A and B are shown apart, each in its own frame.
Chain A
Amino acid sequence: MYGELIAATSVLLPSIMGLACLGLTGRAVRRAVITITAVSLIASSILLFYNGGFVYSPNYIFEISILVFDIGLAAYFLYVGLRIKNVLVIGLTLAQLLLVMYFEYATAGVRAEPVLVIDNLSIFMNLIVNIVGSMICVYALSYMDEHEEILQLTKSRQPRFFFFLLLFLGAMNGLIYSNNILWLAFFWEVTTLCCYELIRHDSTKDAEKNAAVALWMNLIGGVALAFSLFVGYYAIGSIALNELLIAGAAPVILLSFAFMALAAFTKSAQFPFHGWLLGAMVAPTPVSALLHSSTMVNAGVYLVLRIAPAIKDTHLTWAVALVGAFTFMLTAVLAISQRVSKRILAYSTIGNLGLIILCAGLNTPLAYSAALILLLFHAVSKGLLFMGAGVVENRLHSQNIESWEGLLGRFPLTAIIMIVGMISMFLPPFGMLLGKWAALEVIASSPPSIVFLMIIFMVIGSAATTLFWAKWLGHLISLPVREAKLKAEKLHAPYLLSLLSLLSLDLFISVGAAFFISNLVNPTVGGGYSVQIGAPLFSINTTIGSFPVLLFWLAVGIIFIAGFAIAKSKGGVVKPPYLGGENVEGNPLAFRTVADSETEFKVSIMSFDSIGEGRLNKYALVGGTLLLTLLFLVVIF
C-alpha cells in the first residue's frame, strides 16, 4: 500500500505539476512548483529504496487510459510528421500505430499480471533519475531565465519548457516500473515526445531540424519495441516482461530481445544512431543534461540491463557487447577533435553508455556490477558537467572550448566545479575510474576470443578518453602569470544549490563507493546474478583484484595537503614564463620580436582534425549498421 502510493506519486505528481506549469505564468509560483516537485521526487525515491521491492497492478481504468493516450500520442506524431513533411516520421508512426492497434484487436486486449514490477533495478534507476533529474529541474530555473534574457524573449516560453521537463521525469519513472510491455512502450514513446518537444524548444531552424532527426531515430526504437511485443507474445502468449525473461533462450524469444536491444540502442544513441544525441545539443542546456545523464539515455541502458540476465551465454549477448565496445572506442576518438563543449560531453556520454552496454553484454556477475557502477557515477558526473557547461556558456556566450582558456582565473567557482566534474570522469579514485577498472577486469576474465575482440576497443577508448579530458582540463587551468588571488564569482541560488548538491553527491558517492556498492549495487546484482564484489568499508574486492578506495582517498588527501604545505613554506616569487629571453617588462604574455615590437603569444588547444568527424563518422555509421545486422543474424542462426 505504502510502496504503491510512492510509485503512483512518482509518476503522476510530475505529470500533474507539469500540467500546472503549463498554466502558470508567474515566475515565483513556477519556482515554488518546481522546487516542491523536486523535493517530493527525491523524497519518493529514497522512501522507495527503504520500502523495498513489490509488485502492483493498478486499476484497469489506467490500462484503458494508457491505450487512449498511446493512440493520442501516435496521432500527435502523425500530425508532427505531416507538419514538418517528414516521411520517416509519418511512416514510422503509422507502422507503430498499426502494429499496436492490430495487436490489441488480435489479442482482444490481453493484460499482463502484474502490471508494475518494482525490483532492485527499478529502485536503483529510480534514485538516479529522480535525484539527478530533480537537481537539473532546479538548475533550469536559473538557466532558463538567463537563456531567455540572452535570446531577448518578450514572452516567456518557460511554462511549456517545464511542462515537458516534468512530464519527462514522470514518464521515466513509469518506464522503469513497467512490467507490461505495452506500458513500457507507451512511457518510452512519451519520453520520445518530450525529447522532441524539448530539443525544438527554441524554435530555430536548427532546433527543428535536429528535433526531427531525434524523433524519427527514436521512433525506430518505438517500432522495434512494437515488434518485440509481437514476437514475445507469439512466443509465450504473454506481454509480461517478467514472464518473457524466464522463458528460456529459444530463437524466437531471443528475437524479441534483439528488438528490445535495438530499441535500447536508438534511445541510448549507440552507433549508428548517435546522430540525434549530437544534434540535440542545440537545445537549452538543462535539456542536454536531463537527456544525457539521468533520463532518456538511461532508459535504453535500463532495458539492456533488464534483459541481460535472460540473454546470458547466448551469442546475442556478445553482439550487444560488441556494439557497446565499438561505440565506446570510436566516440572517445571522435571527442578528441571536437571544439564545442557540449559535443565533447555528448560524445563522452555516448561512449560511456557504450561501456555500460559492453559490460551488460559481457554478462557476468562482475560485468553487471561494473555496468551499474558506471551508470550510477556517470549520471551524477555528467549531469554536473552539463550544468556547469551551461553556466559557462551563458557567461562566455560561446560554446567553443577555446574561449574557456584560463576559466579558473575568470570564474573560479564554476571552473572548480567543472574541473572536479572532469576529473571525476577519468581519474582515480572517483567512481567512473572504478567502473573502468572493473570493466577491464571483466574483459580480461572473459573467454579468450572475446578478449581478443574487445581489448583493442577498450584500451584505445580508455586512452583516448584520458586525452580529451586532460586536454580540456589543461586549457581551463591555463592562467596568465599576472593573475593574483582567485576570487569566487557570484552564482544565483538555483545554480549554487543544484551544482553544489551534485558536486557534493559526486564526492560523497565516490569516497563512500564501497558503501554504495554494497548497499545499492550488490542488491541489484543479486536479483539476477551471484554477487561478486565484496565491498567492506575500505576497498572494493573482486575475486581477481582489489581497489582500496578509502585508502586512495586518504592518499589523495595527504598528497594535496603535503603539496600545499610545501608550496606554502617554500613559497616562491611568481615570474613570467620563459620566452627565449625576450620577455617584455610588465607583460608576462608578450615577447619582443621584429624590430623589438611587442607581440602577445597565444596558446590554444591542439586540434586533431585528421581524426575528426568528417573522416571518422562514416566508419561509425557503417560499423554500427554492420553490428546491428550481426545482432539479428546471431539470433536467426
Chain B
Amino acid sequence: MGIDRKITARMQSRIGPPLLQPFYDIIKLWGKKPFITSQLQPVLAFGYLGFSLMAAAILVFRLDLLLLLFTVATADICLIAASFNSKSPYSHIGGMRELLSVLSYEPVMIMSIISIYFVTRSFLVGGISSLAYPLLLLLPGVFVAMEFVLIVEMKKSPFDISASMHAHQEIVRGVFTEFSGYTMAMVELGHWVKMMLILSIMAYFWAPNLLIGVGLALLLFFVSLVVDNVYPRLTWQRMLKTTWTFGFTLILANLAALFLLGGV
C-alpha cells in the first residue's frame, strides 16, 4: 500500500509519502480519540477486518476457493452494513456504490474460480499447485479478467465509485466517510488484507515458481496504478457493463479455447 501511494505520486510528479506511511497512519489512527456514529459501527468495522483475515487464512490453509470468495463477500457486506448503519448521506451513497462494486466483481470472480476448477478439477487451492503447467498459460484470459477485479477492489479509477484515496467532490470519502480513529484503522487494515489476498491469488497463476507469480501480481498491480492515473471515474452503470462484458467475454473465450484445443 505504501508502494501504491509512492508510485502514484511519482507518476504525478510528486515525491509522495514515505513507503511506511500506511503503517504510521494505522498506528496514529488507533491512538486517536474515538468517535463513532453508533454502537454497532465498530463491530461491523472489525467484521470487515476479521472476515478479510479469515479469507486470507483460507488461502494460506489451501481450502476451498469458492469459500474464499464468499468470505470476501461477507467482509464487504460488513463494510457496507457499517456504512448504512450510520444515517449519513455520504455514507449511504458510498455504501450503495460499494454494493454495486460487489455486484461487478463477484460474477467475474466466481467465473474465474470455476475456470480454475476446469483445469485443476478441484476447487481447493491445493489443486493449482498440483498442476503440470502454470495457470497463466492455461488461463490467460482469466488472469486479465482478474485485473478488473483488482481495480474494483483497490478502489482505483475508473472504478473508484464508492471511495478513493482522495476525497471526491460529491461523495467525500464515500463508504469510508463516517469511520475515524480506530474504526478507520480497522477498515484500512482490512482493505489492505483484501488487496494482498487478490494479489496472492494472482501470484498463484505461476504456482511452480511463486517468485515469478509475485512478479506477475506486482505487474498487474503496477498496471492498476497506471490505469488509475490515466482514467477518470466512470459511472456505476459503465463499471458494471465494462467489468461484466470484458470479464465474461475474456473468461468464456478462454474456456472455449481450452475446450476446443485441449478437450477439458
Residue in contact with B122 in the complex, picked from A459, A466, A545, A601, CB distance below 8 Å: A545
Residue in contact with B124 in the complex, picked from A437, A463, A545, CB distance below 8 Å: A545
Contact A462 B110 (CB under 8 A): yes
Contact B85 A478 (CB under 8 A): yes
A560 within 8 A of partner (CB)? yes
Binary per-residue interface labels of chain A (409-430) against chain B in the complex, 1 for a CB within 8 Å, 0 otherwise: 0000000000000000001100
Q: Given A462-B110, A477-B85: A559 and B51 within 8 A (CB)?
A: yes
A573 within 8 A of partner (CB)? yes
Binary per-residue interface labels of chain B (68-96) against chain A in the complex, 1 for a CB within 8 Å, 0 otherwise: 00110110010011011111111110011
A467 to B102, CA, bound (A): 8
Within 8 A of A (CB), among B92-151: 92, 95-96, 99-100, 102-103, 106-107, 110-111, 114, 117-118, 121-124
Chain A interface residue count, CB cutoff 8 Å, equals: 65
Residue in contact with B106 in the complex, picked from A444, A466, A573, CB distance below 8 Å: A466
Q: Given A448-B264, A467-B99: A441 and B66 within 8 A (CB)?
A: yes
Contact B77 A566 (CB under 8 A): no
Q: Which residues of B contact A477 (CB under 8 A)?
A: 40, 81, 84-85
Within 8 A of B (CB), among A368-412: 406
Q: Given A474-B80, A544-B123, A570-B182: A563 and B88 within 8 A (CB)?
A: no
A24 within 8 A of partner (CB)? no
A456 within 8 A of partner (CB)? yes
A103 within 8 A of partner (CB)? no
A sample of 11 inter-chain contacts (CB < 8 A) reads A452-B256, A455-B111, A463-B102, A470-B80, A471-B96, A474-B84, A478-B84, A572-B35, A572-B36, A574-B39, A575-B36
A573 to B89, CA, bound (A): 20
B22 within 8 A of partner (CB)? no
Contact B107 A564 (CB under 8 A): no
Q: Which residues of A contact B87 (CB under 8 A)?
A: 406, 478-481, 577, 588-589, 603
Q: Given A545-B123, A559-B54: A451 and B114 within 8 A (CB)?
A: yes
B213 within 8 A of partner (CB)? no
Contact B178 A577 (CB under 8 A): yes
Nearest A residue (CB) for B77: A470
Nearest A residue (CB) for B236: A606
Q: Which residues of A contact B88 (CB under 8 A)?
A: 577-579, 603
B172 within 8 A of partner (CB)? yes
A564 to B264, CA, bound (A): 48
Q: State which of B1-9, B10-18, B42-50, B217-225 sits at the interface with chain A.
A: B42-50
- Shortest C-beta distance, A559 to chain B (Å), equals 3
Residue in contact with A478 in the complex, picked from B45, B70, B92, B103, CB distance below 8 Å: B92
Q: Which residues of A contact B90 (CB under 8 A)?
A: 577-578
Q: Which residues of A contact B259 (CB under 8 A)?
A: 448
B34 within 8 A of partner (CB)? yes
Most chain A Cβ neighbours within 10 Å, of B73, B90, B121, B264: B73
A571 within 8 A of partner (CB)? yes
Contact B89 A601 (CB under 8 A): yes
Q: Beyond the given A548-B63, A603-B89, could you list 15 further A-B residue pairs with CB under 8 A, ordered by the A residue number?
A: A437-B66, A445-B117, A466-B103, A470-B81, A471-B96, A474-B92, A477-B85, A479-B86, A544-B123, A545-B67, A559-B51, A564-B43, A570-B42, A572-B36, A572-B182
- Shortest C-beta distance, A596 to chain B (Å), equals 19
Within 8 A of B (CB), among A482-518: 483
Most chain A Cβ neighbours within 10 Å, of B44, B77, B83: B77
Contact A473 B44 (CB under 8 A): no
A580 to B107, CA, bound (A): 36
Contact A575 B47 (CB under 8 A): no
Contact A563 B67 (CB under 8 A): no
Q: Which residues of B contact A480 (CB under 8 A)?
A: 87
Residue in contact with A452 in the complex, picked from B35, B70, B178, B252, CB distance below 8 Å: B252
A545 to B38, CA, bound (A): 39
B255 within 8 A of partner (CB)? yes
A634 within 8 A of partner (CB)? no
Contact A544 B122 (CB under 8 A): yes
- Shortest C-beta distance, B28 to chain A (Å), equals 15
B37 within 8 A of partner (CB)? yes
Q: Which residues of B contact A560 (CB under 8 A)?
A: 43, 47
Contact B89 A574 (CB under 8 A): no
